[in-house]
Amino acid sequence: MTDSFAAVFDGLILDADGVIYRGPEPVPYAIEALVDAVREIPWCVVTNNAANPPGVVTAKLIGLGLEATDDNVVTSPHGAVAYLIDAGFEPGSKILVVGGPGIEDALVAGGFVPVRDRHIGPVAVVQGFGPEVGWHELAEASYAIAGGAVWIATNLDRNIPTQYGLAPGNGALVGAVAEAVGRRPDAVTGKPEPLLFELAAGRMGASRPLVVGDRLDTDIEGANRAGMESLLVLTGVLTVDDLGLLAGLEPVARPRYLAADLRCLAGAPRDVEICEHDPLTVDPLEVDPLDPVRALLHRIWSGSVDVSDVREEWQEACRAAAEGLRARDS
């Protein structure tokens, strides 16, 4: 019997969109799997979305069936506040806000005074996403930054998936200000920067947390940069049809574990580890269609084979895994 997730890890750091929910809908199997898993492991959701206060995320999780409190949610504005405190800004400092109420709430909770008018003399600008952000707010931020204010972006996500397609994300709006002022932000607090993961681990008292995410460039890269292990699930940005691209990943974007969805949390990390799986230990009734992908990926990433020499085998493994996973869930 191999060790369970709770035996190996002392905290779960979960991305929300594409891992727990997609828009208003729960990700298939995610809630049931988490309800069971979090009986044994402390957990925390880490989201780059700065628009809403943690309470909005908490309410959404509760609505989906998870017992959650605001302590289970870390947002990128929390990271901005941690940065301000760490950088030595005094309590009561005025901070110009670009973005939604999530930023204002976090600043107030951290002892700072959020303002919307540069004439009040803000010492820093915190820029995060809010659907109402317009030219006037971007202009206020630009003037304050040009006047010497420290500039913190909550995240640099280029786009936001909506029901109509991709819309400009905070990174695009930060880019607009950067074009105007001729420089980049002084700090970025959201994923893939390690700060939010470190805050989440600290809050849980976890020394060996597992990061679970659906995006390579934020969740998995952020975990690697924070020195944490990560599990990639195929329920969000990447699906079973995207396995092929994993072979070409740079080391910083490679997860240690790969699973179709969160049902894997009922098993053992060893079962979903990207490594050679000993066929003698695998129960033939529970063959995981992803095992050949994990095994070949391990050989490619470790350099024991060159991807150009096994291209056909790799493509076939990915195709068979996608077909096997579809057949399993149909």
**105 near Mg ion (CB under 5 A):** no
- For residues 57 and 141, which CB has a smaller minimum distance to Mg ion in the complex? 57
Q: Which of 9, 14, 18, 20 binds Mg ion (CB under 5 A)?
A: 18
Contact (Cβ atoms closer than 8 angstroms) between residue 78 and residue 48: no
Cβ neighbours for 325, distance < 8 A, ≥ 6 positions apart: 234, 240, 260, 289, 290
Size of interface with Mg ion, in residues (CB under 5 A): 5
- For residues 169 and 236, which CB has a smaller minimum distance to Mg ion in the complex? 236
**157 near Mg ion (CB under 5 A):** no
- For residues 144 and 216, which CB has a smaller minimum distance to Mg ion in the complex? 216
Stretch of 71-79, 86-94, 149-157, 229-237 contacting Mg ion, by CB under 5 A: 229-237
**Is 17 marked active-site?**
yes
CA separation (Å) from 311 to 260, 288, 317, 325?
A: 22, 22, 10, 21
- For residues 18 and 54, which CB has a smaller minimum distance to Mg ion in the complex? 18
User: Could you tell me the smallest distance in angstroms from the CB atom of residue 291 to Mg ion?
Assistant: 25
**17 near Mg ion (CB under 5 A):** yes
For the record, the structure tokens of 178 come out as: 């950067």
Cβ neighbours for 215, distance < 8 A, ≥ 6 positions apart: 15, 18, 236, 237, 238
**Is 217 marked active-site?**
no
Write the DSSP symbol of residue 215: -
- Binders of Mg ion among residues 180 to 219 (CB under 5 A) are 214
- For residues 64 and 176, which CB has a smaller minimum distance to Mg ion in the complex? 64
- Locate the DSSP E strands across the chain: 11-14, 21-22, 25-26, 43-47, 73-75, 94-98, 113-115, 124-127, 150-153, 159-162, 165-168, 187-188, 209-213, 229-233, 257-259
User: Could you tell me the smallest distance in angstroms from the CB atom of residue 19 to Mg ion?
Assistant: 6
User: Could you tell me the smallest distance in angstroms from the CB atom of residue 239 to Mg ion?
Assistant: 13
User: Could you tell me the smallest distance in angstroms from the CB atom of residue 27 to Mg ion?
Assistant: 10
Cis peptide before 192 (omega within 30 of 0): yes
Q: State the catalytic residues.
A: 15, 17
Residue ranges that bind Mg ion, judged by CB under 5 A: 15, 17-18, 214, 236
